[in-house]
Each structure stands twice: as structure tokens, then as C-alpha cells.
Structure 1
Amino acid sequence: MMNKNKIIIASVVVAMSALSTASAQKNFKQEADNMFAGYQYNSAAELYKKAYAKEKRKDIKAEEIFKIAECYRNLHDTKQAESWYSKAIEAKYPNPKAVLYLAEMMKANEKYAEAIVQYNAYKELAPGDKKAEEGAKSCELAQKWKDKPSRYAVANETQINGASSDFSPMYADKKYNELYFTSTREGATGAVIDAITGGNFSDVYTVKRDKKGKWSTATPLGVEVNSAQNEGSVFLNNKVSTMYFTRCPIVKKKNMGCQILSSERKGMDWGIATVVAITVPDTIAVGHPALTPDESKLFFASDMAGGQGGKDIWMVEIDKKTKACGAPVNLGPTINTADDEMYPFVHDDGTLYFASNGHLGMGGLDIYKAEKSGDNFTGVSNLRYPINSAADDFGIVFEGKNERGFFTSNREGGKGDDDIYSFNLPALLHVTQGVVRDVDTQKPVAGAKVKLIGSDGSTVELTTDANGIYKFDKNGTEQYVKPNVTYQIYASMDKFFNSDKVRFTTVGDETSKTFDQALTLKSIAKPIELPNIFYDLGKAELRPESMVSLDGLVFTLNENPGITIKLGSHTDSRGDDKSNQALSQARAQSVMDYLVSKGIEIERLTAFGYGETAPKTLGSNLVTAAGLTIPAGTTLVEKYILKLKSKEDQEEAFQQNRRTDFLVLTTNYVSSKK
């Protein structure tokens, strides 16, 4: 992309006076230098090649090779520029900038690993220049962003784009079906060929989109806007009643800088454009106008003195009555760098979007955004791939508050030089689904209630189908599972304990996801043994390790506030019946006391000591430490245990009978504390 095409405010310089053919043959280098100084890089490159072919001195040949590379760099022919910078380095060109520019061309050609090598080489040659470290970091980020792109989807608007340059799109109606853009296509108003590019001058064109989404043939705006000079970079206010644009006039073959003009709508047409009176010298370039939604401020790009380096973004306040502009204010080093910042756009939410080749980026110009903070902007961030690429990306515009619009890029695969691309942010489609099963039988539970609770305050409940399946996807046009929310999900059912709550989050997700959550319910019909409830011999006090297991019961009771339970404690058959009964009752009471100490209401609890009267029936095979298998269904009565050959096996069987369990009594308890 040509400098002029990237920024309409670039200087427009006519060709230097022609030398005679004989003189040119004798001094190609001098004429090439003149062409280069006049920004006529195409012509300069060809002349430098002729000079290089005839030159005998190695140092001059190296300089001419470097100048050829410079021509292609300014023409944004990055592949040719990379090739010639490599040749300049091989020819021992002494200026370290050759290495820096080679790195930048490699980056622009997506050769990130090779570019990092050259940036590191430049760092050795110019250790005080931050561009080496910043360039290498940009390459690392660029590769990372390509490997993990943002959610934006982009598409080349092939119906709009032609073989030349089409750029800087702007919505031109309130329904967002008309687009103004800048183009150098055939049919431009000016009859003179642009001396910088050798192509047409740019004009402002319009296209309209029909109900089927098809764009009309592009037509130029009238002479009220387009002239024999370069026009472009249009901006319209929200009412589409006022248009701002850039024009770069040439008077008597002299560059007069660039100006911002405005025009008021007159019915279906535009009125005669007038210059916006921004206080700068005539030869200083200003352009790329962008209004704030309330039309109180006008942002623009300029290379005027007092900036941060190259072309900066500036702002003037606009008087609402007189439309007079205040003094230009530079946006400062947060936004502007020593390089170029251009193409500002202020979103309806106040966010500033702009293009820059000075911040960490992927290649040439990248598009950035900065959040509004009072009267300033902060937090500059790159829009990443695929909005940005290794090429030049700039001139973004949004469709009101929506996350869609257009921008410009000269990336690989385009139709012309600069092309207009559309973008949109597809909605995230998050789903959570699964099957609710009985934890003991593994059979699906039909009719279970599944509740989804969001950190945004949302609560949704569904019922499982005949196969125990639930699915939270769409509720009409709304999504059950929303972006940037953390959720808890659980199942409940009569005669079952509530399932454990499963936590998942969509915070930070940039792709659609399906969360598969299997939920299990446990029947409350049978006693449930509490594992690892230990007591010292002949005592009822809980040992510390027993409390961990009981804390799990506390959690279950809190998650199921409607149940009341009977706590049962059992002993083995050794010892007398009366002592075992008393000990088991005391142990059940100690469990109950612990639960009460943890906030469980005493009305929900009953303590009962069974003594040795209810030996355990194994629900699954018991394999002892000695390797004996006692089959499931065996009731561990004393007579059976004493028939076991090993004392160790007998002790393990007796230990199975020493247990604490609980049984749900009711499921409709209502707390008196509510």
C-alpha cells in the first residue's frame, strides 16, 4: 500500500524537473536521488538499479542497494524490500538500519522467527535503540495471536473492492446500508496522475446494500466533495447530516499540505465543502477526521510540531453554536509514539480506536483501542488477529453499539492493493448438559430437577427427560449460559439427596463451549454409613480424624435443608449387651453434639444406639488384608465371624460392625429460624 493510500494527509509532491536522456544515462544515481526526495519511489528504484549495474565502487554499490530497498519499503512492497535489504547487508552496507528494516520486512512477511534473529542482531549493533527489543516482542506476540485468534470473524468485501485501493469505509445512513469509502479506481475526478504512486488521485465513492445483502456498483460523490485533488477518509455524524473529509490540494505544482473539510447535507446531496479552521500552518498536513458521538470534539491525525514523533492523533473542541475549533491538543504518549498514529474513530461507548505502527503489533499498521477514562484514554490494547495481520490494517468503523463494522487491510489474499473488510463478533454459544443418574444403580433418573445458578444473579431450573437427560442451551432467543459468568449446577429429586454442586465458568472464554456435567443422586431410603468414625476403646469421644467425615455430613445437611435424620451407632458383639447399648448411645450422642456445634438445628437430629443388635450386611465384597474375600450380602453375625480361620480376618470383620450411620426420617422439615 502506498504511503498516500495509507494516509491521505501524506505529502503530495510533483515530479522533479526531467533530465535529458543523455544526462540520465550519465548520472542515474543523481536522478534517482532526486526522485527519491520527491517521493517517486517507483521511478527511483528503477534508476537506482541502473546506477547499481554500472557502479564499480563497492561502497557506492552497497548504498544504492540499500536505497532500492528503501524505495520498496516506502512502496510497501515488503517482499522486494526484504530481498534488497538482505543484499545490502551482504554488500557490507554499514548503517545498522539495514538490519532493523530487514527485521521489519520479515515481520511484515510473517517470518517471525527469522525476524527475531535480525532484531537481536540489530540490538548488538545499536544497543540503545528500543526498537530491537520491541520488535522481537512484537514477533512473539504476533505468533501467539495467530495461534490463538480473537473471536472476530472477517471477510473481504469483494463486491465493493476493485483492483486498485479501496479504503477508509464509513457508514452513510442511519440504517447502516450505505457506505462511503475512498478509492483510486478508474473514473476519478482528477485527470492528472498522482506523481507519488503513478496511479489515480483518490475520490470518495458510495455503495448501497439491498435487502438481500448485495452491494450496488460504486459511484463517486459529486463535485461538491470530489475534486482534481486527493479526497478521502470520510466521517459522518450520527445524524448523517454533516460530513467531514480530507483533501490534499496542490497549487501551481506546490504541495499545500492537507486539510479537513466539512459539508452539510442538502436533501439527497451535499453542499459545497468548506475548510475546517484548525490552527496549523498551510503546509502542515491534517486529516482523518473523527467526531465524538456528541459532536463536541473532533479527532484527527497530523504531523504538526509539538507531537510525539511522526504523525500523531490530535483533538480540538468544537463550539456547539459557532462550530469554531479550539486549539489542537495532542493525545499524549499513551496514544502517540515516535512513529505514526492515524485513522481515529470514537465508538458510541467512548472507546478510541486508531491505527499505529509504533505500539507492539503484528506487522505494519495495526488497529488498537483505548478505553475512555474521564477526559483521557488509557489501556491501549491491540485488536489482535484476525482484525490485525502482518500487513497494514487501519480505518475501522463500527455499526453503532454493535460489534460489527468494516476496516481496511492490504493483507495477502486481497482483491486489490488496499481492500475493505467486514468484521463481526459472533455470539458465544455456551451449553451445559448431562445425565442425572442414581449413584447406586447407575440408572438415569427421570423427572429430576436440575438448577443452574449464575454469579450474575440468574437462576434457571429444568427437568430431566425420560432418559435422565438435561440441556441448558437456548431459551427462545436468549442463552441460558452467558459469557463471563460463573455457574453452579445441581440436581434434586424426591427421596434422594441433592447432588453435589458442580462449578464451571465462562469467564474469559473466547470460543463457544459445551460443558458436560454428569450429576448423581443418592437414595435416602437406606441407612448411609459414615466412613472413618473412630473412637478410643470403650469411649464415646470423637477422635480428631472422625471430624473430617462428619464435616461431610454437615455439608450434606446444609445442602438438603428439608431432611431430618436418625444417627445410629453400632458396636460389635463382644462385651455384654447392656454395656454395648450404653456405649453406642453415647457415641451416637457425641456425633449429634458435633453436628449441633456446626450449626445444624437439633430438631433435625435423633441419636440412637443399636448396641450389637444390627450387624452389618455387606453391600459389596470385603477383601481383608490377608487376602480373604467375604462376599457381598454376608451378614456379619458373631457365629460367622468366629468361623474365620485368621484372627486378623476376624478382627477386620468385627471392625465392620463398629460403625456409625444415618437414616433420613423426613424430607419436609421447615426451619423455625426462617
Structure 2
Amino acid sequence: MRKKLYIILYMAVVLVVLVSCGADAAMKKGDKFYALGEYYDAAAQYKKAYSATPAKERTTRGERALKLADCYRRINYTQRAIAAYNNAIRYKKTDSLTHFQLAQQLMKNGNYKDAAKHFQTVLDSMPDHRRARVGLRSAEMAPQWKDAGSQYTVKRENFFNSRRADYSPMLAGDEYDQLYFTSTRNDVKGDELSGITGTKNGDIFVSTKDEKGKWTKPEGIDSELNSDFDEGVCSFTPDGRTMYLTQCLSDPSYPRYATICTSSRSDASWGKSTPLEITRDTLSSYAHPAVSPDGEWLYFVSDMPGGMGGLDIWRVRLTASGTGGVENLGAPINTEGDEMFPTFRPNGDLYFSSDGHPGMGGLDIYIAKPDTVMQGWKIEHPGFPLNSQGDDFGMTFEGLHNRGFFSSNRGDGKGWDHIYSFENPEIVQTVKGWVYEQDGYELPEALVYMVGNDGTNLKLSVKGDGSFTQQINPNVDYVFLGTCKGFLNHKEQLRVEPVGKSEEYVLQFPLASITSPVLIDNIFYDFDKATLRPESTAALDELIKLLNENPNVTIELSAHCDYRGPEAYNKLLSQRRAESVVAYLTEHGIAADRLSPVGYGKEKPKTIRKKLTEKIPFLKADDVLTEEYIKKLPEDQQEICNQLNRRTEFIVLRTTYGMFDKEGNLKNPPKRDAAKEAADDDGFDDLF
């Protein structure tokens, strides 16, 4: 009997030792995963070790509960984190950091009353703990924000969402008809599960609108852009040709540092990403890129030295030769907490997420508006329901309107993020302009100078389709000057009145070529005469406006006939017609020495430009409408070609008229005014 008892006791001791060894081994594995940042795998090992630790080993059990809580906190398992922190406190493994982090998790769970108690516990022992003070204020303000609500409406967009994480949406395209976002759904490349999240590594997906304006099923970008590693959180340059994205490579023996990469678009395909060197620091993370609306700065998130604590938002200048001049945004944007996911509304407002400002729990979205008086930023909290007790981040906007998409893990027990839409029905007045070659295509290299009598002075780039969109203010007079190298300028004026709902004004900027003949459309003469018909005045008045906007230009005004009729007679008739147009222009204030009337008769048949072939399909670009060419066509097509040959055009002869005196000196040399140049370097301050 005694021998049997000894055997039982021996086996119990062996079992305890084995369990203890198993727990220790699990802790070592967990610590290794933790050091690599693989918190999901570390949590699995810590949980095994915690469960294998006898309850009487209170100190050890408390330490392991605390490590488990830290992992759950990092992977957004909020409920499990709260339970683990409470266990650590129960086993007397507690300090101010434990209470602070538990309070943060309680905030994310919407338990503001208990969160306030734990923040207060921290302040009782550390009265100068600024983050705890902010946390206590958050716990007091959050219920008020929730009760007050706001004008925002929010909706979960399940069409884009999967059973895994979907986050950081970004609208793109000239009409905002492309939605890029990051997803860890099963369709991503690679089969390996991330040790950080327990899901597959993220890829960038895209959904586009079809011809009916409906979103199509999201698909992973089918190019080398996505890899077996983590890609996501993308942003685009204003011309849409370059993507900045975050990539996180895997290394089984080295911590994973996020890096920012770039990808260029060729036709409709994104190329393989290449790392962007921001600094030579290889031991810091660089993530969440956001290109400023003017394309001159890249905003990003980093934990590099020199920050204010945790993750900060930084920016670096983008130049033709690369990046240069890294700046920390500083206060009031950055705090001792984490500031992440910067993004811009096209009007210049910076949106970002933070757990260091007073908020409702987790990451809240904040708006940083430029403060021209203080030369800094003014921070706003947009309230509920844009913000919630969960993590809210990753805003993207449909143009200048306050609507678009964002991501949040609100209400998700596993802490996974999903895509939501939002809208704030504020009144936004905008102007949309189109810059294009007169009788030709859009001019994506154009610039538009915008001047308002409220002090507005902007230089606007256009998109790939030659368009621009800009917010405007009521009770302001604006002047817009469309410019492009190789073309004459075109000016438009706009008076903006107050309105009761959002409104968009549309302006056209047809630019006349300096090097090619420009058709003056809708010029009509009496039959077989040179007399201008009354319906010609509208087109001629536009020509007068163009010449007044470009006072240093001289032109040849030419009239043309078709091949039918006596050649000498047609040449004389076209000369008289050209002179009739010149007479009209001089009668309306255009100097005669800026105009050269020439009648060509049939000598210069029209050369077809590509744009015209879209309206007249039987013609091809660069066809010349000679008599020989026309006579080979069917009669109905012959008449169309003859009509095209009967035309009035102008071509620019000089662009320096009136600029020089008799000695060849510039009449009005620019005067250097440093103060004025600092305020306005575009040379168009006298548009009014």
C-alpha cells in the first residue's frame, strides 16, 4: 500500500514538473514570437503557459496573464485583453501601466465608467501622467459625444467587406470611380498565416464603377504589385500615375519593420513596388503614406527617433530627384500616444487617427485644418457616429464633398476592420473646369491660375482628362486663366453667390494652338459674297476676347474655298472674306497691325486632325482634302469634305507684339518685389 502511495506521489511530482517544463517552453516560444512582433502566435503560447501554471503560483500566473493581455491588446482582441488584465490585477501583478492599458481596453469596449476608475487609479499615484489625464477626460466626454451625435451618417458597406479584415479605402480616378483598399480575405496571394494577426497577409484590392455607376466585385490587383508579403494602405499622386503603399516583409529571425514603397502605372497595370528611401534609418518603421493635394509632400507614420512618443505623423518633400527634408508635424497633431493613417480631403484638411487626443475609444478620427493666423493646425473632433468606441481610421473623399469611405472595427468581436461609407450634408460650392486644345483633346500638362478678390491666389494642376475641381466661396469674384505651353491663354470669370444646397459650376478652357491653324467655327457669309452674316458675330466676339486676353499676339486671318469654281475668282473671294473678318475685328478695337488677312482659295486644303475623325468616321487622321482625294469619295461624303474646306482660320505669327521699343528693349521689364514674390510667384496677380 505504501509502495503504491509512493508511486502516486512520484507520478504527481513528475506531472507537475512536466507541466512546469511545458509552461516554461511555451513562454520561451511566446517570447521569441513577441520579439519578432508576431503577437498572435505569441498569445497562443502565453495562453498555453498561463493555463499550465498552477493557481498557487500567483506571481508567475500574474506575469503570464500580463503578457497575454499585452498581446491581446495589440491584436485588438479587446474582450480577451480585458479579462487578461483583470487576471493580472487579481494576482497582484499590477502597476500604473496595467491600469492605464486596461482603461484603454475598457474605453474600446464602451465601458466608460469603469475606464474612468482605472484612469483615476493611475492619476492617484502619478498625478502628472498626461495620457491618463487625457484618458479620464475621454471617458467623461465620450458619452456626451454619443448623445449629441452629429450630421454624419455612417453605413457599413458589406459589398466591399469579407469575413476577414478590410480597411484603408482610397478613392481614385478622375471621376472617383475606383476604390482601392487593403484586405486579408482568402483571395490574397500566398497561403501563409501572419504571426501578427493570425490571418493571411494583406493585399491591395480594387473595385470600379461600371457604366451604370454600380461598384463591381472587388478583385486583387492582378500584377506584381501584390506579393506573398503584406501590402496595403495606399495613396496616389494627383496625376494618378504613382502609388505609395506600405509593405511589410517577413523574416523568421528579425523583427518586421514596415516600409513605404512606390509603384508606377503603365497603361492600366500597376508595376512591382520598389522601396522608397526616406531616411537611412533601417531600424524604424515607415507606413501609412499620404500625398498632399498639391503633390509636393508625402505624409507618413513612423516611430523614428525625434518624435513625440509612440507613432508620429511626419512629412517629407517630394522632388523630381527623390525625397528630402523630413519634418515632424509636432503639436498639436502629434502626442505621446499614436498618431496614424493620415489622409487629405482635397480642400487641404488633414484627417488622421489617434489614441493620444481625447476620444471615444481606440483610434478616433480627427480633422486638422490649416490655421493661417497661428501658422499651424487647428484640431477638431468630428464626434459620433463617425467616431465610435472602436478603431476608426482611413478616410477617403469623393472629391471636395464631405462624403466617401473609412474603416472601423466597431462591433466586431475579433477586432477585424471593415469598410464604412459616410456623408456629412454640408453645402459645398465647387468649380469644375476642362482645359483642352481648341478642336482637339484634353491638355493634361495645363495649369490654371485662380485669383479671387478675397485674397485667393492658387495655381491648379489638371488631371489626366484635362479637368480640375476646386472649392469656391460665396460672395467672391474669381478669375481663372487657363495656360499651357504651346497654346494661347484663355480667361474665365465667375461670380459666386450664396446657395442653399451644394452646387458645381462648370467652366470651359479651349486653348488655341500657337503652332497649328485654329478653326474659327460658325463664320457665315452671304452666298457668293464676302458679307458677314449676323450669326457670325458670336464666334468673332470670342476671337476678339481671345486677342484681348493675349495682347502680344499677331495672327494671320485666312479664308479658304473648296476646289469648285474658277481658281482666280475663288482666291479673290476668299481674300475679300478674310478682309471682312479683319474689318470686324478692327471695328471692335483690335489693332490693324496685329491682323494679316489672306485669301487662299483652294491652295491649302484642310488636313484632318484625329479629333475630327470621332465625328466623321470615314475620315482618317492626317488625310488632306485635296480635289483628287475628294473625287474618289461617294457624293454625300464629297459634300462633307467640301464644307470642311470652306473655312475661316487663324494662325499665330508672333507672340511678342508691343513688348519691345524701337531700340529693342523690353518696354515693361518686371520689377523685383521680394514681398510680393513670396506671396505670389505666378505673375498673374493683375487678372482683375
TM-score interval, smaller chain: 0.5 to 0.7
Q: Is the 8 A contact 1:138 1:361 kept in 2?
A: yes
State the alpha-carbon separation in 1 of the partners of residues 414 and 92 from structure 2. 38
- Shift of residue 21 of structure 1? 11
State the alpha-carbon separation in 1 of the partners of residues 354 and 375 from structure 2. 18
Q: Is the 8 A contact 2:22 2:49 kept in 1?
A: no
State the alpha-carbon separation in 2 of the partners of residues 144 and 211 from structure 1. 44
1:393 alignment counterpart = 392
Classify the secondary structure of the residue corresponding to 1:379.
strand
The letter for the 1-side match of 2:380 is: S
State the alpha-carbon separation in 2 of the partners of residues 227 and 73 from structure 1. 28
2:358 alignment counterpart = 360
What does 1:3-152 correspond to in 2, within 5 Å? 24=22, 27-53=25-51, 54-55=53-54, 56-152=56-152
Q: Is the 8 A contact 1:313 1:330 kept in 2?
A: yes
State the alpha-carbon separation in 1 of the partners of residues 241 and 294 from structure 2. 13
- Shift of residue 78 of structure 1? 1.2
Q: Is the 8 A contact 1:408 1:421 kept in 2?
A: yes
Q: Is the 8 A contact 1:258 1:283 kept in 2?
A: no
- Shift of residue 51 of structure 1? 3.0
The letter for the 1-side match of 2:365 is: I
The letter for the 2-side match of 1:404 is: R
2:154 alignment counterpart = 154
Q: Is the 8 A contact 1:69 1:84 kept in 2?
A: yes
State the alpha-carbon separation in 1 of the partners of residues 271 and 258 from structure 2. 20
Residue 377 of structure 2 corresponds to residue 378 of structure 1 = yes
State the alpha-carbon separation in 1 of the partners of residues 173 and 35 from structure 2. 42
State the alpha-carbon separation in 2 of the partners of residues 212 and 222 from structure 1. 24
Q: Is the 8 A contact 1:45 1:71 kept in 2?
A: yes
1:318 alignment counterpart = 318
Structure 1 residues 280 and 150, CA gap change in structure 2 (3 angstroms):
farther
- Shift of residue 90 of structure 1? 2.2
- Shift of residue 223 of structure 1? 3.2
Q: How many residues align?
A: 417
Q: Is the 8 A contact 1:280 1:304 kept in 2?
A: no
User: Which one of the candidate residues 313, 337, 348 is aligned to 1:339?
Assistant: 337
Classify the secondary structure of the residue corresponding to 1:206.
strand
Q: Deviations over 1:415-454 (max 9, x none)?
A: 98110111111358xxxxxxxxxxxxxxxxxxxxxxxxxx
Classify the secondary structure of the residue corresponding to 2:323.
coil
The letter for the 2-side match of 1:80 is: R
What does 1:184-223 correspond to in 2, within 5 Å? 184-210=184-210, 214-223=214-223
Classify the secondary structure of the residue corresponding to 1:52.
helix
Q: Deviations over 1:625-672 (max 9, x none)?
A: xxxxxxxxxxxxxxxxxxxxxxxxxxxxxxxxxxxxxxxxxxxxxxxx
- Shift of residue 98 of structure 1? 2.0
State the alpha-carbon separation in 2 of the partners of residues 273 and 149 from structure 1. 42
What root-mean-square deviation, in Å, do the aligned CA atoms of Structure 1 and Structure 2 show?
2.9
Structure 1 residues 276 and 46, CA gap change in structure 2 (3 angstroms):
closer
Q: Is the 8 A contact 1:286 1:300 kept in 2?
A: yes
Classify the secondary structure of the residue corresponding to 2:324.
coil
Structure 1 residues 147 and 25, CA gap change in structure 2 (3 angstroms):
closer
Q: Is the 8 A contact 1:241 1:265 kept in 2?
A: yes
- Shift of residue 481 of structure 1? 6.4
Structure 1 residues 406 and 171, CA gap change in structure 2 (3 angstroms):
same
Q: Is the 8 A contact 2:39 2:195 kept in 1?
A: no
Structure 1 residues 415 and 136, CA gap change in structure 2 (3 angstroms):
closer
The letter for the 1-side match of 2:400 is: K
The letter for the 2-side match of 1:310 is: G
Question: Which blocks of at least 5 consecutive residues in structure 2 are unaligned?
Answer: 1-17, 428-473, 476-496, 503-688
Q: Which moved more, 1:116-125 or 1:40-49?
A: 40-49
Q: Is the 8 A contact 1:51 1:64 kept in 2?
A: yes
Q: Deviations over 1:269-305 (max 9, x none)?
A: 1234333231232332112111111111111111111
State the alpha-carbon separation in 1 of the partners of residues 36 and 332 from structure 2. 33
State the alpha-carbon separation in 1 of the partners of residues 272 and 26 from structure 2. 46
State the alpha-carbon separation in 1 of the partners of residues 499 and 235 from structure 2. 39
State the alpha-carbon separation in 2 of the partners of residues 207 and 401 from structure 1. 21
The letter for the 2-side match of 1:398 is: F
Residue 421 of structure 2 corresponds to residue 422 of structure 1 = yes
1:410 alignment counterpart = 409
2:458 alignment counterpart = none
Q: Which moved more, 1:161-170 or 1:412-421?
A: 412-421
What does 1:627-642 correspond to in 2, within 5 Å? none
- Shift of residue 106 of structure 1? 1.3
2:300 alignment counterpart = 300
Classify the secondary structure of the residue corresponding to 1:261.
strand
State the alpha-carbon separation in 2 of the partners of residues 413 and 47 from structure 1. 24
State the alpha-carbon separation in 2 of the partners of residues 62 and 251 from structure 1. 31
The letter for the 2-side match of 1:170 is: M
The letter for the 2-side match of 1:390 is: Q
Identity of counterpart residues, as a percentage? Answer: 38
Structure 1 residues 23 and 118, CA gap change in structure 2 (3 angstroms):
closer
- Shift of residue 331 of structure 1? 0.6
State the alpha-carbon separation in 2 of the partners of residues 393 and 376 from structure 1. 28
- Shift of residue 336 of structure 1? 0.9
Q: Is the 8 A contact 1:164 1:416 kept in 2?
A: no
Classify the secondary structure of the residue corresponding to 1:250.
coil
The letter for the 2-side match of 1:86 is: N
Q: Is the 8 A contact 1:204 1:232 kept in 2?
A: yes
Classify the secondary structure of the residue corresponding to 1:318.
strand
Q: Deviations over 1:152-203 (max 9, x none)?
A: 1111111000011111111121111211111111122233322222211111
Q: Is the 8 A contact 1:249 1:255 kept in 2?
A: no
Structure 1 residues 72 and 243, CA gap change in structure 2 (3 angstroms):
same
Q: Is the 8 A contact 1:183 1:202 kept in 2?
A: yes
Q: Is the 8 A contact 1:24 1:31 kept in 2?
A: no
Q: Is the 8 A contact 2:192 2:201 kept in 1?
A: yes
Scaled by the length of structure 1, what TM-score is found? 0.58
Structure 1 residues 136 and 212, CA gap change in structure 2 (3 angstroms):
farther
State the alpha-carbon separation in 2 of the partners of residues 118 and 28 from structure 1. 31
Q: Deviations over 1:317-368 (max 9, x none)?
A: 112x43x111211111221111211111122221111111111111111111
Q: Is the 8 A contact 1:256 1:282 kept in 2?
A: no
Question: Which blocks of at least 5 consecutive residues in structure 1 are unaligned?
Answer: 1-19, 429-455, 458-477, 484-674
State the alpha-carbon separation in 1 of the partners of residues 249 and 49 from structure 2. 34
Structure 1 residues 21 and 125, CA gap change in structure 2 (3 angstroms):
closer
State the alpha-carbon separation in 1 of the partners of residues 82 and 20 from structure 2. 33
Q: Deviations over 1:193-251 (max 9, x none)?
A: 22222211111111113355542221111333111211111111232222111112235
The letter for the 2-side match of 1:335 is: I
Structure 1 residues 21 and 242, CA gap change in structure 2 (3 angstroms):
farther
State the alpha-carbon separation in 1 of the partners of residues 36 and 252 from structure 2. 16
State the alpha-carbon separation in 1 of the partners of residues 142 and 110 from structure 2. 9
State the alpha-carbon separation in 1 of the partners of residues 136 and 129 from structure 2. 12
Classify the secondary structure of the residue corresponding to 2:325.
coil
2:273 alignment counterpart = 273
Classify the secondary structure of the residue corresponding to 1:114.
helix
State the alpha-carbon separation in 2 of the partners of residues 34 and 480 from structure 1. 62
Q: Is the 8 A contact 1:234 1:246 kept in 2?
A: yes
